[in-house]
């Protein structure tokens, strides 16, 4: 295992200070290793995630070579030639587990923002003290954006939040963590080949959730109540002016509708599975309360906003991969983690094999299936073709 930094590198270096997992502790598990502390319903801090992964590396005796940056992987006779900054490796197979969130996805018009406004991405953001005094525009209202907007607002700043397509979820539903419902109802276990629109599912933003000891919901209503100004999707910059979409109400109605549908799925599951007695009666979340008219533009040169935090998502970085398996959008082309190059595999990508694939607890099933395919191909046994990989 080659790692350019340390074990749990992204959790050490690429997360903001206050971040806690949005997945509850009981869901934090890796093959043969699970949270066994006193707060199964709590949410780990990043320091605790680092310890959890370090412990796993120790008990699984993972042969990790840290401080080893892979600078090229290319196909050669009988396998792959891997170049690193600490020597080369020849191998028959390679599993790409380099992460889905290596680079920030920032729109091109960011280059047209006046220099007087400081810009940073969620990969660089650590805490409010890092930003110049004054107002902040947070762009993106998925898990990262809503969490940073709330933290910046609590620090006493004026905060504007540009909201595009998002996934709204309550933290708890009928007395249980909403991710308990995702887990037990089987929604998270849905296979990639059962998903209606796989391309869309793989691009779906993370849900508006935060892990706090109070198990608070952090949706747009909560942010508006804190005094965060909601604006539509940031569409362009024209002559120092940020132009926002006027479609915020529609975007919010759609998110409300999708949330209600998902919660109805949970209700149906509780009725048919007989778990009705374990949960309290259904609750109804108020619709997102969007002002009739929202601001459509902002003069970035006027000083109202001194900083922009881009929370517009992440993308993987395969600049070091010299095998033609990356599509025009920079994503790996794969079928359930099997790439179209013999002996090349991937893990840790959104909806790789199941909806839960991108989460910490999602890797176990995926790893088992991918490694099974890999072992068969190494043993010279007819490996199932990529599109018929058996899914346990």
Residues near ligand FAD (CB under 6 A) are 2-5, 9-10, 15, 21-23, 69-70, 97-99, 101-102, 144, 314, 320, 348, 358-360
Instruction: Give whichever of 94 and 290 is closer to ligand FAD, judged by the CB atom.
Output: 94
Closest contact distance (angstroms) between CB of 120 and ligand FAD is: 14
Q: How far is the CB of 101 from ligand FAD (least distance, A)?
A: 4
Sign of CA dihedral 104, 107, 112, 113: negative
CB 363 within 8 A of CB 311: no
State which residue, 122 or 245, has the beta carbon closest to ligand FAD. Answer: 122
Shortest separation between residue 247's beta carbon and ligand FAD, angstroms: 26
Question: Residue 89's CB: how many other CB atoms inside 10 A?
Answer: 17
Closer to ligand FAD by CB, 2 or 298: give it: 2
Query: Which tokens hold the place of 153?
Result: 């607002």
CB-wise, 88 or 283, nearer to ligand FAD? 88
Which residue, 98 or 185, is less far from ligand FAD as judged by CB? Answer: 98
Report the alpha-carbon distance of residue 367 to residue 360 in Å, rounded. Answer: 12
Helix (H) or strand (E) holding 338: strand 338-339
Q: Which one, of 376, 311, 262, 365, lies nearest residue 138 by Cα?
A: 311
Instruction: Check if the beta carbon of residue 209 is closer than 8 Å to that of residue 225.
Output: no
- Least distance (Å) between residue 293 CB and ligand FAD: 33
Q: Which is nearer to ligand FAD, 53 or 262 (CB)?
A: 53
How crowded is the C-beta side of 353, counted as CA atoms within 13 Å?
24
Q: Give me the least distance between CB of 211 and ligand FAD, in Å please.
A: 7
Report the nearest approach of ligand FAD to the CB of residue 278 (Å): 24
Is the Cα torsion angle 207, 208, 213, 215 positive or negative in sign?
negative
Q: How far apart are CA 152 and CA 306, in angstroms?
A: 13
Residue nearest to ligand FAD (CB): 99
CB of 67 to ligand FAD, least distance (A): 9
Backbone angles phi, psi at 103, to 5 degrees: -130, 150
Q: How far apart are CA 281 and CA 309, in angstroms?
A: 39
Phi first, then psi, for residue 276 (nearest 5°) are -50, -35
Q: Which is nearer to ligand FAD, 14 or 267 (CB)?
A: 14
């Amino acid at each position: 295992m080659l790692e350019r930094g340390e074990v749990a590198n992204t959790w050490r270096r690429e997360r903001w200070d206050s971040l806690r997992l949005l997945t509850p502790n009981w869901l934090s598990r890796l093959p043969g290793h699970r949270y066994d502390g006193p707060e199964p319903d709590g949410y780990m801090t990043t320091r605790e995630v680092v310890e959890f992964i370090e412990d796993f590396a120790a008990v699984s005796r993972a042969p990790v070579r840290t401080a080893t940056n892979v600078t090229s992987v290319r196909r050669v006779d009988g396998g792959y030639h891997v170049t690193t900054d600490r020597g080369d490796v020849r191998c028959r197979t390679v599993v790409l587990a380099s992460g889905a969130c290596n680079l920030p996805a920032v729109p091109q018009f960011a280059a047209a923002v006046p220099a007087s406004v400081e810009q940073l991405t969620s990969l660089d953001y650590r805490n409010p003290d890092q930003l110049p005094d004054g107002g902040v525009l947070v762009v993106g209202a998925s898990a990262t954006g809503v969490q940073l907007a709330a933290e910046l607002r609590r620090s006493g700043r004026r905060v504007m939040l540009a909201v595009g397509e998002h996934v709204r979820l309550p933290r708890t539903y009928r007395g249980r963590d909403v991710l308990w419902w995702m887990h037990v109802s089987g929604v998270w276990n849905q296979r990639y080949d059962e998903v209606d629109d796989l391309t869309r599912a793989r691009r779906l933003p993370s849900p508006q959730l935060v892990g706090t000891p109070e198990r608070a919901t952090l949706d747009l209503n909560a942010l508006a109540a804190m005094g965060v100004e909601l604006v539509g999707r940031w569409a362009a910059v024209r002559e120092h002016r940020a132009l926002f979409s006027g479609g915020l109400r529609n975007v919010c109605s759609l998110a409300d509708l999708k949330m209600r549908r998902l919660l109805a799925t949970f209700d149906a599951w509780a009725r048919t599975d007989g778990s009705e007695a374990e949960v309290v009666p259904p609750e109804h979340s108020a619709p997102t309360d969007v002002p009739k008219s929202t601001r459509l533009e902002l003069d970035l040169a006027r000083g109202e906003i001194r900083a922009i935090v881009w929370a517009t998502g992440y993308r993987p970085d395969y600049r070091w991969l010299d095998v033609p398996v990356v599509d025009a959008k920079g994503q790996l082309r794969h079928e359930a983690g099997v790439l179209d190059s013999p002996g090349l595999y991937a893990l840790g990508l959104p909806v790789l094999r199941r909806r839960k694939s991108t989460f910490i607890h999602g890797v176990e099933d995926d790893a088992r299936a991918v490694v099974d395919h890999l072992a068969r191909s190494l043993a010279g046994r007819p490996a199932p073709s990529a599109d018929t990989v058996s899914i346990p």
